[in-house]
């Protein structure tokens, strides 16, 4: 896949539906993105977790379009689609059939019950070891048609029922989902919530040795269908390095908080330290449909003796700095303040996290684009969007603060803003300059960062001061070396 900038977006929140998204990509954003990650478009796309709780993982929600629309997008762009490997919706036909027929259902064994996970029972100590992204135990009671009551494992919400990925029925189900996605011409799948997929009595049931073996299995199934695999896991940074060794792509989730720390604390050293050890087969992001992770740069949640890329005081200061920069709006959307699936992320647009400073925002994007890997830009970030407090108040879902529904008029208005125009020029520069096909050297210290890409005689250098937000780019063009401020690229 070409190493060009990619877009992450919901079809309904940017283009209205799949044809509308395709039209935007062919008109207002023509030639801008090499790839597109379309967030869940399965039925229903607007369930309990914004599409990550599909009732039917092989059906496109008719309100958004059809598989033909997905195939059309895949012909024009390298398309990424989510495979949700940890759970299904409680309204899925498979789960409803099991509730109706119990052990007589063809899907019996697919859903992870307490007894299935702990056949010998579980002590308080065993249960307290479980790692979960929100408080409380991950179990929800359900009553079958015959009156039998069962405890189902529900890692995220009570409407998202975890599946037993060891069971043959489950594995056949997942392989069917992968095959249907591949048939539409999709190039890459993102394994959603895979870190929680394997439950092992006595362990944390998060990113264990068995989880890594399951990732190997799913990766092999995907490769059989010529699909590249992107693993989505928020976890300790050294675990991300381990994951990167066995899959095609991982997210660099440490990058966003480290860039923010650099620009808000005027300290580039933790970012520079990460640059020296990070995996390069990475998708680089600053913002996604989720919040800004802090677990990715903190100490190991399962072994606090293993320090993070930022210390506890630095993490606390970072979170407070984001809240201050956003005028307190991120505080309303974060942690226990809203109905959050997880408590280890700050919910805020990246533009608001930097106090709506155009210079610092452009520098943050430049740091992302110069970092080795494939850059992805979230649709709200593309338009330098601000926190949607009206949507947050309406839904009380914290992450909705960064999930605005853009009208066509709002898109047109955003595209006239100087910060957005400068970002579009930066994206085109990153896509086109041949130096980015070569090697990158990173240097600096304190508040200074220099990132230099070279390929033969071609050069693209970013020199920045994270304390002031000032940055310049030096590049070659037709044998001539040019220099301009970051917002002055042609």
Instruction: Confirm whether residue 217 is marked as ligand binding.
Output: no
Q: Pinpoint the residues of the chain covered by CATH 3.90.400.10.
A: 93-162
Q: Low-confidence residues of the chain, pLDDT below 70?
A: 1-2, 336-343
Give domain 93-162's CATH superfamily: Oligo-1,6-glucosidase; Domain 2 (3.90.400.10)
What are 137's two structure tokens? Answer: 């135990």
Instruction: Confirm whether residue 443 is marked as ligand binding.
Output: no
Instruction: Confirm whether residue 232 is marked as ligand binding.
Output: yes
Rounded Cα gap, residues 391 and 95, in angstroms: 31
Going by C-alpha positions, the residue among 200, 192, 198 that lies closest to residue 212 is 198
The alpha carbon of residue 409 and the mean position of all alpha carbons in its chain are separated, in whole angstroms, by 27
Q: Let me know if 401 is exposed, middle or buried by CB neighbors in 10 A (0-12, 13-18, 19+).
A: buried
Instruction: Confirm whether residue 131 is marked as ligand binding.
Output: no
Q: What count of other Cβ atoms lies within 10 Å of the Cβ of residue 280?
A: 11
The per-residue pLDDT for 340 is 44
Q: What count of other Cβ atoms lies within 10 Å of the Cβ of residue 454?
A: 17
Instruction: Confirm whether residue 87 is marked as ligand binding.
Output: yes
Instruction: Confirm whether residue 192 is marked as ligand binding.
Output: yes
Hey, CA dihedral for 86, 89, 95, 97, is it positive or negative? negative
Name the residues annotated as catalytic.
Answer: 192, 232
Rounded Cα gap, residues 326 and 386, in angstroms: 9
Q: Pinpoint the residues of the chain covered by CATH 3.20.20.80.
A: 6-85+167-436
User: What region does 428 belong to: left with phi over 0, alpha with psi -120 to 50, or beta?
Assistant: alpha
Q: Tell me the per-residue pLDDT of 168-213, one tens digit each, with 9 for 90 and over.
A: 999 999 999 999 999 999 999 999 989 999 999 888 998 889 999 9
Instruction: Confirm whether residue 289 is marked as ligand binding.
Output: yes
Q: What is the 8-class DSSP label of residue 111?
A: B
Domain 6-85+167-436 has CATH 1.10.150.120: no
Q: Tell me the per-residue pLDDT of 335-365, one tens digit each, with 9 for 90 and over.
A: 766 544 445 789 999 999 999 999 999 999 9
Vertex 211: Cα angle to 208 and 215 (nearest 5): 145
The per-residue pLDDT for 439 is 96
Instruction: Confirm whether residue 37 is marked as ligand binding.
Output: no
The per-residue pLDDT for 341 is 43
């Amino acid at each position: 896949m070409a190493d060009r900038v990619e877009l992450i977006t919901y079809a309904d929140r940017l283009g209205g539906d799949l044809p509308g998204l395709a039209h935007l990509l062919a008109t207002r954003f023509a030639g801008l993105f090499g790839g597109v990650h379309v967030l869940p478009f399965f039925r229903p796309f607007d369930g309990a977790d914004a599409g990550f709780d599909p009732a039917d993982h092989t059906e496109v929600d008719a309100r958004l379009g059809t598989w033909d629309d997905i195939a059309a997008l895949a012909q024009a762009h390298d398309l990424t689609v989510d495979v949700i490997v940890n759970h299904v919706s409680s309204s899925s036909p498979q789960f409803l059939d099991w509730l109706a027929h119990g052990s007589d259902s063809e899907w019996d064994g697919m859903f992870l019950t307490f007894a299935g996970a702990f056949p010998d029972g579980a002590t308080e100590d065993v249960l307290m070891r479980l790692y979960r992204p929100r408080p409380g135990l991950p179990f929800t009671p359900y009553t079958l048609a015959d009156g039998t009551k069962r405890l189902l494992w529900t890692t995220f919400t009570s409407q998202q029922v975890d599946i037993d990925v060891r069971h043959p029925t489950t594995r056949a189900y997942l392989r069917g989902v992968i095959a249907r996605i591949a048939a539409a011409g999709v190039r890459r799948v993102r394994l959603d919530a895979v870190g929680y997929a394997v439950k092992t009595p006595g362990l944390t049931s998060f990113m264990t040795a068995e989880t890594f073996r399951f990732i190997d299995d799913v990766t092999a199934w995907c490769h059989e269908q010529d699909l590249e695999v992107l693993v989505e896991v928020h976890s300790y940074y050294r675990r991300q390095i381990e994951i990167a060794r066995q899959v095609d792509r991982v997210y660099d989730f440490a990058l966003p908080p480290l860039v923010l720390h650099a620009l808000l604390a005027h300290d580039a050293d933790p970012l520079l330290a990460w640059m020296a050890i990070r995996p390069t087969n990475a998708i680089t992001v600053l913002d996604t449909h989720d919040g800004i992770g802090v677990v990715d740069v903190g100490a190991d949640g399962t072994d606090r003796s293993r320090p993070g890329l930022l210390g506890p005081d630095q993490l606390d200061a970072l979170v407070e700095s984001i809240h201050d920069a956003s005028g307190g709006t991120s505080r309303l959307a974060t942690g226990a303040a809203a109905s959050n699936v997880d408590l280890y992320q700050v919910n805020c647009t990246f533009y608001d996290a930097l106090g709506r400073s155009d210079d610092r925002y452009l520098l943050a994007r430049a740091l992302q684009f110069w970092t080795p890997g494939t850059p992805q830009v979230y649709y709200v970030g593309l338009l330098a969007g601000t926190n949607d407090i009206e949507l947050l108040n309406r839904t009380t879902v914290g992450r909705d603060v960064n999930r605005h529904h853009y009208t066509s008029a709002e898109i047109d208005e955003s595209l006239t803003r100087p910060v957005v125009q400068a970002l579009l020029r930066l994206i085109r520069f990153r896509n086109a300059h041949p130096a980015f096909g070569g090697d990158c050297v990173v240097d600096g210290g304190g508040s200074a960062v220099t990132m230099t890409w070279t390929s033969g005689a071609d050069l693209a250098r970013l020199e920045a001061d994270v304390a002031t937000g000032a940055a310049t780019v030096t590049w070659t063009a037709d044998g001539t070396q040019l220099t301009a401020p970051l917002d002055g690229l042609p």
